[in-house]
Amino acid sequence: MTDPRLWRILSYGILAFAVLVLIYLVLPTLVIVPLSFSSETFLSFPPPGFSLQWYDAFAQSLDYRIAILNSVKIGLPAALFATVFGTLAALALVRGHLPGRRLLSALMIAPLILPQIVLAIGLFPIMVKLGIIGSYAGILLGHTVLAMPLVFITVAAALKSYAPTYELAAMTLGANRWNTFRFVTLPMIKPGVIVGFIFAFAFSFDELILAIFLTNPATRTVPRLLWEHLNYQMTPVIAAATVVLLVITLSMLAIAAVYARTGARKPSGAAS
Amino acid sequence: MSLAMPERRLEKLSPSAARHRPWSPERGHALLLLPPLLLLVAFFVIPLADVVLQSFAGPGHPLTQYERIFTQSSTLQVLLYTFQTAATVTLCTLVLSYPVAFVVSRAKGNLLHLSLALILIPFWTSTVIRTYAWIVILQRRGVLNEMMLDWGWIERPLKLMSNGVGMQIAMIHIMLPFMVIPLLNTMRGIDGNLLRAAAVLGANPLRQFLSVYLPLSLPGVSAGSILVFISSLGFYITPALLGGQKTMVAVLIEQQASRLLDWPMASALATVLLVVTCLLFLLYERAMRFAGGGKTVGEVS
């Protein structure tokens, strides 16, 4: 048969290829970091000198301040609604025995899969008719629908991770539905719910296409502001803003990871 | 429990009622579905139905818009180009992702956590930001041109942006996590003993891969490919910023709707996109069913 050394070389080749792809995955985004500390106005690389002027400009910018506030004002309630609705859907579809469960589950994750431009085209006339175009309510509803699948997926996974006998035991011991949920189900799925909430918030914080159609200059979010700046004026302020946003996203991810891990470490004994 | 008693008695009494399942806390969960379902119907199903209706509503006979799409060479070209780009991006992403998923699926401990972080961080980084990074890299006075000029590889800056290649490189970069994650989910479920069994029976590593590992990883391959293909078809941000003259269908829809205010045309294009996506989504569902467990995006431990 063939020389075993050949296979070893081949496996190192695969490893090297994988490492290169991982670098391709991460490196391009990091290019922004040195640029944000540039002393030049136009994009030049490597930056000729170090300065914090773009961070200063970012901090001074009223546009960014309003956009960040808008993103939080839209993202937090949207994530909250998405969490409540997504958890309800997961409870119904994982714990209940409904006819057409597969189809309903597919419908629940469909908003995540379908191109957002199609939904944006569909929501625009409806929001106009309802008179909430450009308002917080309009974009809030849109983001709730789009973020709900994320919560549905994480909570459904949490519910599938343990047998429903825990709830059965609680109800046999006389707990009503609410108490069973409050003292048994919720503690068990809490990490999934929290991770889902963070994902939903991160999603809303990043979403652009619905924001283009459903917000106005007073309610525009950070991605829409970045988008407008990218289309009309390219200064390193965008780089500074981007680095700040990256740090925010990464810290949210870190929190989510910590929660997911503590949840995985103690799946039982939470029902105290 | 009070609810349970009559049911149990019925079970004993009539043979037809015996087919009912015994009492369980699952009863009543169906009602919980009502609020999310209403929300989805009001702000997802109805808007999509509205898009489909609007596409027939323009002047002329109901199919005017579709006739325009499939006879005007410009729109037809955009559709073809969209499919072509989505196919290219999907294929390249698959080729790049498969070895990564394979290596990561066998990693353990801190190495596993590190590589998962490297995959998940881009997954959760805003597409606007990642596209911006590619503008910084690919533009006329961008990182790549400056570096190649410094090293004397080229004499004048190359036009890397506003053409298909730059856009595709950026799209592949953005789509990679969507391919790696489903592949990883499938590969982590493959029992290593099967490969060992194949080796004991005399298969060399290539044979082990081709007749054991590859077939077992196919559910992940199809799920990831369909997911990336769907996402690429409806991709807006990167084509709008890096695509230049050649636009993809999502950009065309946006232009028709918000710049030309040709709502029926935008709706017809969106309907085409919607129908294709729905068909592919059904395929995806089937692929995930084969993969078992019904796992989807972002569901990695």
CATH code at position B243: 1.10.3720.10
Q: Given this model, what pLDDT does residue A42 score?
A: 63
B115 part of a folded domain: yes
CA distance B135 to B166: 9
Provide the pLDDT confidence category of residue A264 given band limits of 50, 70 and 90.
low
Enclosing domain of residue B193: 61-291
- Assigned domain for B21 exists: no
> Is residue A1's pLDDT more than 70?
no
Mean pLDDT of chain B: 81
How confident is the model at residue B12, as a pLDDT?
47
In a domain, B89, yes or no: yes
How many alpha carbons lie under 13 Å from residue A133 in its C-beta half-sphere?
14
Question: Domain A54-265 adopts which CATH fold?
Answer: MetI-like fold (1.10.3720)
Chain A residue with Cα closest to B123: A25
Q: Return the pLDDT at B115.
A: 87
Residue B74: predicted pLDDT = 84
Per-residue pLDDT at A267 exceeds 50: no
Q: What is the nearest CA distance from A243 to chain B, expressed in angstroms?
A: 9
- Percent of residues, chain B, with pLDDT higher than 70: 86
Using only C-alpha atoms, chain B has a radius of gyration, in whole angstroms, of 25
CA distance readout (Å), B80 to A37, A136, B65:
42, 37, 17
Helices B46-55 + B263-291 axis angle, to 10: 130
Q: Which of A12-26, A201-215, A249-263, B97-111 has the lowest mean pLDDT?
A: A249-263
What part of A 120-159 touches B (C-beta under 8 Å)?
Answer: 121-126, 141-142, 144-145, 148, 150, 152-154, 157
pLDDT digits (tens, 9 = 90+) for B159-169: 777 778 889 99
Q: When comparing pLDDT for B19 and B26, which is higher? A: B26
More confident residue, B103 or B63: B103
CA distance A34 to A210: 31
Asked if residue B8 is part of any domain, the answer here is no
The alpha carbon of residue A97 is apart from the nearest alpha carbon of chain B, in Å, by 7
- pLDDT at position B171 is 92
Does residue B37 sit within a domain?
Answer: no
Contact B253, B270 (CB under 8 A): yes
pLDDT at B25: 56
The chain A residue lying nearest B266, using CA atoms, is A121
Residue B125 in contact with partner chain A when CB distance is under 8 A: yes
Q: Does residue B91 belong to any structural domain of this protein?
A: yes
Q: Which of B126, B187, B284 should one mutate to test binding to chain A, selecting the residue with the greatest count of A CBs within 10 A?
A: B126
* Distance from the first to the final alpha carbon of chain A: 61
B41-47 average pLDDT score:
92
pLDDT tens per residue across span B208-253: 888 888 888 888 898 889 889 999 998 998 888 888 777 888 888 9
How many domains, in total, are found in chain B?
1
Task: Report if residue B246 sits inside a domain.
Answer: yes
Mean pLDDT of chain A: 85
Residue B285 lies in a domain: yes
- Which positions 17-36 of A are in contact with B (Cβ < 8 Å)? 17-18, 21-22, 24-26, 28-32, 35
Decide: A117 and A209 in contact? Cβ < 8 Å: yes
Say how far apart CA A42 and CA A163 lie, in whole Å: 59
Position A20 confidence tier, pLDDT thresholds 50, 70, 90: very high
* CB contact at 8 A, B179 and B93: yes
| Residue of A3, A27, A118 to mutate, testing the B interface (most B Cβ within 10 Å of its Cβ) | A118
- Tens digits of residue pLDDT in A107-139: 998 998 899 999 999 999 899 888 888 889 899
Q: Give chain A positions within 8 Å (CB) of B134.
A: 28
Question: In chain A, which residues have their Cβ closer than 8 Å to the Cβ of B40?
Answer: 107-108, 111, 145, 148
Report pLDDT for A148.
Answer: 94
